[in-house]
Structure 1
Amino acid sequence: MKAMKEKIDEPDRQRYSPLQTLLPVRRLSSHSPAGPSADIQKAIVDEARLLGQHGKMIPWYRLASKYCLSIDALQTIFNQTEVDAQRRQQQSALVTKTAERHFDSVLCQCNWEAVASELDIPLIECLDLFDASNSTIQPRSLIESYGGWSTTEMARLKQFLADNYTAGSTVDWKLAGAYMNVDVLECQRVGLGTFHDTLNNVGYRRICEFRESKLSWKNVHQHFLQYPNFTQLRSRWYGLKRKQEGRTNDIIAVEWTDSERELMKDLIDRHVQSTTRSELVSIIQRELPTRSLSDIKPFTRHYAYELTAGCMRADRRIRLRELVAEYGEDWNRIGKALDVLPSKAQHNWIKCGGYAGDHSAWSLEEIRQLQRLIDSASKRRGIDALSKSFWAAADDETLLRMIDGSMMSTAAKWEQAGKAVGRSVIACKRRFKILHHSRKHIQVADDRESLVTSEVQGQFELSSAVDWPQVSQATGLGMRECLELSQYDGGKASWHYDPDSFSQSMVDRMTGFIEEHYPTPTPVSYRAVSNFMWVDMNDCIRIHDMLRGKSNWTEADYERAVALRAQGLTYKEVARHLSPTLTHSSVCNALQFYLSPKIVRKPISADEVEEINRLADEYAGKYPVVETIDKIRTQLNLGNRRGWHSTVSRLLAAHPHYQAKLSGFDYIDLANRIATGQTTTKLAAKELDVPRLALEIHVSDMNSRLFSSAWTEEETRKLLDYVQTCNSKPDCVYFSKLLGTKSSIQCSKKIFHLRHKGILSHIPKV
């Protein structure tokens, strides 16, 4: 007891008296209960370890008072737990080493049965003692590494679960994962699917007992936690119940006699459209009292749907066509022959037209007939047959040939391809993607193109000319389609613009063809224009763009314009030499842009700033400031750099030479002189030989000090009186001198503001 007193720490001495401290100990030593439960022992050990951490002495008297046990009993429990923990740690190390010896690196599995046999320990206990953190055996993932679980792996896991866990028991998936040497979550996910089938007769009877005792499915699921949720457990139980009762949902498995089938089909045929499904089942059950509802319902549902709804299969549609050809539209006879309601037979005939589907290839005659129908329909409606959304095979071939099979072609190539097929660049890119991925080239279209090309080539080689109506008649295609399909370019002439020999008749012929066959907004097919004019397609594109006023200047155009100007020609004459639609102003603007120095958007670097400061030290005071700026610009080649002048002026304004010149300068007098119009900052900077920027900064600062931006009522009244006395435009410089507190610019802005508000609307503008 004396030793117990010494263990009491100082805070407890202050809180309890010696008598209060000894009384619980005496009571506990005389009334210590025997045999605490495992949970209480675990709580005692955990709390003792918490109180004794960091080398502190465990206050056993507190635990004795809390758990109503003697100190000796508490120490015995604690020591025994420590011994058990050490023994378990030794056993765990032994099991881990043994498992590593029995590990097959080829199969990535451990022979746990051999481990349990060698150590004479149950298999589950071996798995529980196995320490994966201190083992070289690493869990695998069969799904990621091997593409899934094999049949052997699934059977091994299923056998392990069946041998060690009965129905209704909770599976420790950590042990199952150690047994299979896989990740715990993966083992649980796969194992739940395999363990569902372990609901045997024992589990079925247990669930029946639970359900008879009015236990809900959620509570029943607490006894069968191997199922993810109670719905799967309930579904499995109902399936097992139907199996034991000999029931099935398959209507084919029910043995129906021929007379019963005919009777049910006749009843369904007569009542399916006038009654509900439930009433129909009741009618059939009255006629067949020996059959249960579970047998009649699936049959009724299946055949009622077949009789009333759904589209027929292809073979039944073929049979429908044959019956219609044989009986006409006698739907009662056809329905009986097809074993469906007459209304369904009629509905399928109206909806599908008895069309069974013809998937054979289109013949050339069918394509020609379809094209003639399209052309005739378009002429009647006054629209173009080949709309923007229609892509002919010739256009596809032209696009593929010009783009060279790559989406990474230049913008110029895409633009040329778009002009060749008469479509935008975006449309060409979309079409090219389709062709590039599908690569479906219709052989019929190739035959049409080769047919037209060979006919055109034969005529040109025979007579050096092409009769397009004759080509259209020979190929059976429209003349415009022949013009778009022909790929023969032999003997085509070039067409360049020359102001002296330019033929207006050719221009009228080309524009007339385009307006007739490609009215706005139909895109122009320059392949057809080239074949019609028998001129190179690129020349047709260039001349047509020129006539429409499109001026895409090239380097050659700029050089030619410069050369013509060097010969002494005026801008109007240069425009006439370049294009019939160009104006002299557009040529002038283009040449000014071409010849003017290009501004480089590159900031002044730090090295260049140092060089400017060095040159400023060299030239300051030696040359006037204007020449100094020019010399710096010339030596550093800053003429085409944006903002170079302000940068150089700012650096010169901070130079000591110019700062010394401006020291003691009367900026107030300069500001007053500028305000009264006697001088400007540019003239003052030239007189003083200093950078203009240096004066502007100080003058702006003086203006803000001398002349307040806010107008008082007295100043505004004086301004109004002065303006009222003026017979003409007010002299702001004179009034600024009279007022003395505002500059001439401020007076001008104030007058403008008053006029804008309507106060001085009758006064002339300043």
Structure 2
Amino acid sequence: MLQCRGLRFSQNYLALYGGAPVRLLNAQTAWRFSRLYASATKDTTSDQQQKLIYEIRTYQKENMTIPWYILAAQYRMTINSIKQILAQDDARIRAQKELSMRVTQRAEQLYDKDRGRCDWETVANEFGKPLKQCLALYDTSFSTIVARSRPKITDWPVEDIEMIRSFIVKHLDSITSDNLRLASVYMNVRHDDCISINSLFNRPKVTAELHEAIKQCRDNAKDNGIKWTESETTRIREILKEHYKPGSIRLAIKVATAEFADKPKIKVMTKVSSTRNELYLKPSKHNEAKMRRLVETHGEDWVRIGVEMRITANQAQNLWRKCAQLHITTPAWTEDEVEILRKCIKNGIGSSKASRLVGTKLIANCANMMQRLRKSEQTGRLNLHRSQWSSADKTRLMVLVSASDSRTIDWAHISKELGREINACRLMYPILNRENNNRLLRYTDATNAEARRQYEQRSEIDWAQASQAVGLSERECLEICQFDVGKTRWIYDPDTFSWDTANKMTGFIKANYPSPTPVNYRAVSNYMWVDINDCIHMAMLLRGEIEWTDKISARIAELRSQGMKFKDISRQLSPNLHENKVSAFYRNKINQKLYSPISDENKQLIRRLLDKHAETMPFKKLAPFIVGRLTSGSKNTYMSRIASYAASHPVYKARLEKAGKTNVVNQLSADTTSVQRLAEELDLPSVLLRYFHRKAKKHIYQNKWTHNETEQLISYVQSNTPPYNWNLFSTQLGSKSGLQSYNKCTYLKEQGKL
């Protein structure tokens, strides 16, 4: 043994650091070895410890064996020291969880039903910790307190607005999503609603001075318009001819922006784009002559024509269509052409397709004539000069709107029923709705006072008596009453759930808010005398819906690990939730865990192999061939990525153009062949055909149903018996597919209209 400055070294250590057996050393050499040994054996810093713990946790998360010896050599520590650090971290985590549980339980005990939130200041004082730390320790997964929903600014009382504003100013150093999550816990409000209300705090208040300054800036911007000289325009054309590539204008914009640095970038981009359109995409005499020559030479080989014209294949096809329309248009409208437009209006066909059906008019001409036809059609039964609304018309308008789905109000049908223009009905409805709300607000205080008086006398409220005392209907009293003292909680428990209570709520909703009328859950809450958030949540569960949160996901995984079936799990979560939704959500989570991203090297290799073998090897053999060349990852992930790359590859796009897009669409629409079989015949990826077929169907069939189409569907269903032949009905209708007709029928049945 050798001793130097309080450290003892064995010959083995000295041999380790010296590289050879050491028998005798002088004092200076021993001091050097002592410094080296001390630096190698000293305790790790906190950053190193955190890195070490993170690496061990990663091994534990993946259920892998921890390589203790590798970690000991990497961090220059003994295995016992590493295990001691890990034990200390485990103890810290357990203490943190215990403290979090205690804070959560204490917060529930201090929950104030009247205020709708916890007394967090008292919690912080009892635990002797800062308020932010207590809020961060609060665990919503172990709490029964339901966060309040306040999506609109009108849902926030003035007191709560001032409280959250003061909390943000006093306790939050920066406005981040995590910090606002603390504010949402403090106010017991949903996180998204807290973010929305905070965004309103940052909006500037528009004063008369600010409005005048904005107006002045806009006027100055109009006066300082950018003007381009002839020489500058000529230079833009030269840049485009030198740097423009078909389908990509970025390089030309980059060169022009650098050369015209004295002009705003957006103005240069606009000038380059408009000049490009004028040179290559406008049906000028030069472009028309060149297009005619190329079409006579190459036929409808739009890919080759696009290369000659320095545009894409789609742009070449559109340019040829525009050039052809210049010579077929006629100035006057014949009766046959007008009749075609009338049929287009009746079937809901737009001006673009109407122009192709007419064949002798531009899209703009057809749009103008269709608008004139609609107005002349309405003039016979509509008084366009009526501006005064009678009380009967206002009431009828509100009734017609309430009978429609709020998301898809058929204003054309309402216009016909009332004998007024569509815009007049559309503008009058929000005015009447606002007047009705303002009228009800004047009775709010009286309704609250009457409800409080009855509740203090007999702990329940007779709404019929309250409506007589206030002078409103029973439903209106339920909708505007804000008195909610003593309301009970309603949390779903499969053991204690009662269908009698659930049927009472659903019966009230169906009687007062039949579909598609939106439900006023304040009225439901007052009728059931249950917390409004619990009513909203329970109504969602009774509809067979559920909010898929991380807490629900963890519970499903826990019950599944216990061997429980999806049918039983669905009953644990909701009374009406179908087991298929639970199984689909569970398998989707499993697939997300199994998904492995593709590395950049493999992406480049896929593209290289596609470029090399796309023309020579059939795609059915090419995809497995490429997968075999890749080293790691999921086979399904690679196959889908290869198919998506191939769908945008120019070789396969050219094959689709050569096969004829119209012919392909007709074959798929007629159901004479499947997508997979046709893809093998044409040597194309099936993804490309599916995408093209969906895109073509969107142009053929409009998603929106007109009132006339809906009436024909209802008449067909009522005059026939199941099973219905939807393909036959779609052929008779001519403007919707069989699948669209089936989906519309299902929707009407759900809404109670069939």
Instruction: State the TM-score, normalizing by the size of structure 2.
Output: 0.25
Instruction: State the TM-score, normalizing by the size of structure 1.
Output: 0.25
Q: Does 1 or 2 have the higher relative contact order (CA < 8 Å, sep 6+)?
A: 2
Name the larger-Rg structure.
Answer: 1
